[in-house]
Structure 1
Amino acid sequence: MKRFKGISAILGSAFLAMTLVACSDSTSSEPVEEEPTESTHDITEEEVLELQQSWGEGIVHIGEVYSEGGDYEAAASEHIERFYGYDIGNVLFKPTLAKEERFRDTFEGALSYFIGGNEAFPEDHGFAIVPWTDVQWENEGVIIEGNKAVSMGVYYFTPANGGDPVEVEYNFAYTKNNDGDLKIVLHGSHYPYNPTQEITEEEVLELQQSWGEGIVHIGEVYSEGGDYEAAASEHIERFYGYDIGNVLFKPTLAKEERFRDTFEGALSYFIGGNEAYPEDHGFAITPWTDVRWENEGVIIEGNKAVSMGMYYFTPANGEEPVEVEYTFSYTRNDDGDLKIVLHSSHLPYSN
């Protein structure tokens, strides 16, 4: 741990010494010696380490409450109130898994990142409700100056599903409020640099989950009389690589135009209404209430990945889920976003 006295402390000591000399000359031959007192709001390294440990335990607690069907929103709100300085002023919060709204300078933005469900932050799926079973911190260093402190290092989040811990790099800054409570005022988290931008299985699973939620969302917008075409267009732009080049798209319910290598062809399949594709009735506006994935396997090689398995679409009319076989292929665009470049869906074979 590195600790700096700071220019203000040096100047303060010099000023005190000058004052004592002046008092000695003007009032008494015997100067009154006063010892400068250290601020009760000075941060110690022990406090920083305790906060980090408690913060990790808080993340685990939110996931536990969620898994047990409890009030996880209240748990997450208490976590933010306890550890972050939104009651003091601005907080610079850059969470790991955020791109559309990268910085969260409000309590609501932080809460959305931890638990999801806020329409203003549709990319959030609830980092804290994954859930995790452990958070381990490895500080590269902690620098303290009075009531300010910063730390940098790596923390590891162990998922409850038994997978390997997720490694994340971080920078945190801390200060104390008027009550002397240590608060986080800067939180920057990032995945480690990967020169090959290798795809992870976690990313594939997250994309699949988000893709299914997107299909459900299109149907909800349609049912509510909203702009479902815009919702479907956003879905395609987000998940498919038409901005990169060709996409090999073979949707389930298509025979006359089996392959959709254009954005317009994909859009027609999802919402129908395009005279060039009269067989399309709008797969995504059925509508569906849930999409569940069962991967037979995921194969990853660098920045390419493929997956194969079954997904099940639950219709809003209460009928049994529709079983569909699929093969997907993924790559990254120039911004590092994971995109689908092959989508092949088929109804199961029946003799």
Structure 2
Amino acid sequence: MDDNYPKDTGWALKPWVRYDLKNAAVILEEKTAFAMGEYVFEDANGGTSEAQYTFGYVKDEEGALRIHVFMASTPSDGEDQEFRQEPKEANLTEQAMEAAQLAWGKKLVEVGNVYVMKGDYHEIAEELVDDCYAYSVRPVLFKPAEARLIPFRTTRAGAISYYAGGNKIYPEDWGFALRPWKSARLSTEAAIIHSTQGLVMGHAYFDDAAGIQRKAEYAMGFVKSSLGVLINLHHTNFPNYTEIRMMQKIQAKAVEQYQVLQAQKDWADGIVQLGKYGRRVLELLRERRKLRVGEMQR
């Protein structure tokens, strides 16, 4: 009910009756923690909402955990969308994180270019993962946008497979970097730095050689190491346009039997209550008549 967010219908108002959260991996620090996994919420009618999530937590002054990063995504339906307006350039204040994002985008494009030239694109994909991600120095939480069967890639091999494909352990991977992409740009909406952990969230724009652009949402976490500023948290999601359109065309649900029974109960309860009031009114009227008769006899 906030005019600033006209699309919001109140996600918690479904209402949900039960839920299940499963962490695929967790990073624990002295005062921060990060978790990546999947959740399922079930409503009273048996309908479910399933998504992958990334949570970031920080301790407050009293030692309680507070969420300072949250992103949830449903699998993309694969629909491409064209965008006529060019996105604004990222306006980050932290140069190190900006440079790391630029390096990631350039390396992603390079993998596809080498693939088109029939070169050793798999080697470039390995360089992308080794140069941009922190797998060699600390745990990494990675939720690729188009990974569904195995949605989380907490290992180096899983990340390489997502970008270059060809790994039998991940048969769904066709090689995201092999489209190929003409450019990959990141536009940050917000950035925070907490101790040694940097976090950014925003939109990603991928342009292919045919001029088709895909827009995604992302959250990235960065840490400093002897190898430079590396990604240790990465969650990307392509909007599920099919689901969005369904939400925009929400129609009233068919009347169910329990609703009819409840309406009947409400009606009958009202009749009974009115009867109680009616009997009380009659009693008062009889008492008043008796008083009048008594006065007349006197």
Q: TM-score, normalised on structure 1? A: 0.43
The Cα shift of 1:137 comes to 1.3
Which one of the candidate residues 89, 111, 115 is aligned to 2:164?
Answer: 115
The Cα shift of 1:191 comes to 1.4
SS of the residue corresponding to residue 49 of structure 1 reads helix
SS of the residue corresponding to residue 200 of structure 2 reads strand
Distance 1:153 1:146 in 2: 21
SS of the residue corresponding to residue 85 of structure 1 reads coil
Which one of the candidate residues 136, 150, 160 is aligned to 2:185?
Answer: 136
Which one of the candidate residues 225, 237, 247 is aligned to 1:190?
Answer: 237
The Cα shift of 1:144 comes to 1.0
SS of the residue corresponding to residue 230 of structure 2 reads strand
Structure of greater relative contact order (alpha carbons < 8 Å, 6+ residues apart): 2
After TM superposition, the structure 1 = structure 2 runs for residues 244-323 of structure 1, keeping only pairs within 5 Å, are none
Counterpart AA for 1:113: Y
Matched length = 160
Distance 1:145 1:180 in 2: 20
Structure 2 unaligned segments of length 5 or more: list them: 1-30, 33-60, 62-92, 250-298
Does 2:123 match 1:74?
A: yes
The Cα shift of 1:176 comes to 1.1
* Identical-residue share of aligned pairs (%): 35
Structure 1 unaligned segments of length 5 or more: list them: 1-5, 12-43, 200-301, 303-351
Alignment partner, residue 148 of structure 2 = 99
Larger Rg: 2
Alignment partner, residue 168 of structure 1 = 216
Counterpart AA for 1:119: K
Which one of the candidate residues 109, 112, 127 is aligned to 2:176?
Answer: 127
- Using a 3 Å threshold, how does the CA distance of structure 1 residues 45 and 101 change in structure 2: closer, same or farther? same
Q: Deviation string for 1:56-81 (max 9, x for gaps)?
A: 01100000000001110110101110
Counterpart AA for 1:185: N
Q: Deviation string for 1:202-221 (max 9, x for gaps)?
A: xxxxxxxxxxxxxxxxxxxx
SS of the residue corresponding to residue 136 of structure 1 reads strand
Which has the larger share of strand?
Answer: 2
Q: Deviation string for 1:58-112 (max 9, x for gaps)?
A: 1000000000011101101011100100011211000000110000011110010
Q: TM-score, normalised on structure 2? A: 0.50
Which one of the candidate residues 139, 143, 159 is aligned to 2:208?
Answer: 159
Distance 2:242 2:121 in 1: 37
The Cα shift of 1:145 comes to 2.4
Which one of the candidate residues 83, 87, 93 is aligned to 2:136?
Answer: 87
SS of the residue corresponding to residue 117 of structure 1 reads coil
Distance 1:117 1:198 in 2: 34
The Cα shift of 1:135 comes to 1.1
Counterpart AA for 1:167: K
The Cα shift of 1:136 comes to 1.6
The Cα shift of 1:190 comes to 0.7
Alignment partner, residue 207 of structure 1 = none
Aligned-residue CA RMSD in angstroms? 2.7
Counterpart AA for 1:141: A
Distance 1:166 1:132 in 2: 10
Distance 1:108 1:196 in 2: 31
The Cα shift of 1:194 comes to 3.7
Distance 1:141 1:160 in 2: 30
SS of the residue corresponding to residue 88 of structure 1 reads coil
Distance 1:71 1:59 in 2: 14
Q: Deviation string for 1:19-43 (max 9, x for gaps)?
A: xxxxxxxxxxxxxxxxxxxxxxxxx
Counterpart AA for 1:168: A
Distance 2:240 2:174 in 1: 23
Distance 2:245 2:165 in 1: 26
Structure 1 stretches of 4+ moved >4 Å: none
Distance 2:219 2:148 in 1: 18
